[in-house]
């Protein structure tokens, strides 16, 4: 991919799906290569955190499924794009077997890397809305 080519929605979706796979697989290395060095990572449950802590959070779940419901791209400075959308998340809590079903509000800044691929320049999972019948997580 040309380093100056505009970032497409398909590239952003593929990046997100790769990250969700890395979370399920508990692969810190795979997840890390999807982020620019020093890229901030924020979540609805604790604000800013290191990638290793996010992986530890996801280790508590089995059968995770992430589905991108909505995604819109907005041009940003330096050829980046801001991707805002909703992701449906379903997972089984390993300790209890309870099922969590929710919609996450996502806000990502995506940039093109030197190798022509795309990566997260910032990642924010801003809010969770539990779906009816979902288990509620406590922190």
Distance in angstroms (rounded) separating the CA atoms of residues 27 and 90: 19
What is the predicted pLDDT for the residue at 24?
87
**DSSP symbol at 79:** G
Distance in angstroms (rounded) separating the CA atoms of residues 82 and 104: 16
**pLDDT by residue (tens digit) across 15-71?**
999 999 998 888 888 888 999 998 989 998 888 988 888 889 999 999 999 999 999
Domains, the chain, in order of start with CATH, read 9-130 (3.10.450.50)
**Can you give the pTM of this predicted structure?**
0.91
Q: Once rounded to an integer, what is the mean pLDDT over residues 83-109?
A: 97
What is the predicted pLDDT for the residue at 38?
87
Confidence bin at 2 (pLDDT 50/70/90): low
């Amino acid at each position: 991919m040309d380093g100056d080519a505009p970032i497409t929605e398909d590239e952003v979706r593929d990046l997100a799906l790769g990250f969700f796979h890395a979370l399920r697989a508990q692969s810190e290395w795979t997840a890390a290569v999807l982020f620019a060095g020093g890229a901030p990572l924020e979540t609805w449950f604790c604000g800013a955190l290191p990638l290793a802590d996010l992986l530890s959070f996801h280790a508590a779940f089995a059968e995770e499924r992430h589905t991108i419901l909505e995604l819109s791209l907005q041009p940003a400075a330096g050829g980046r794009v801001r991707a805002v959308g909703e992701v449906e998340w379903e997972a089984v809590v390993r300790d209890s077997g309870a099922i969590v079903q929710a919609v996450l509000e996502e806000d990502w800044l995506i940039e093109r890397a030197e190798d022509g691929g795309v990566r997260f320049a910032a990642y924010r999972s801003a809010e969770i809305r539990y779906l009816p019948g979902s288990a509620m997580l406590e922190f």
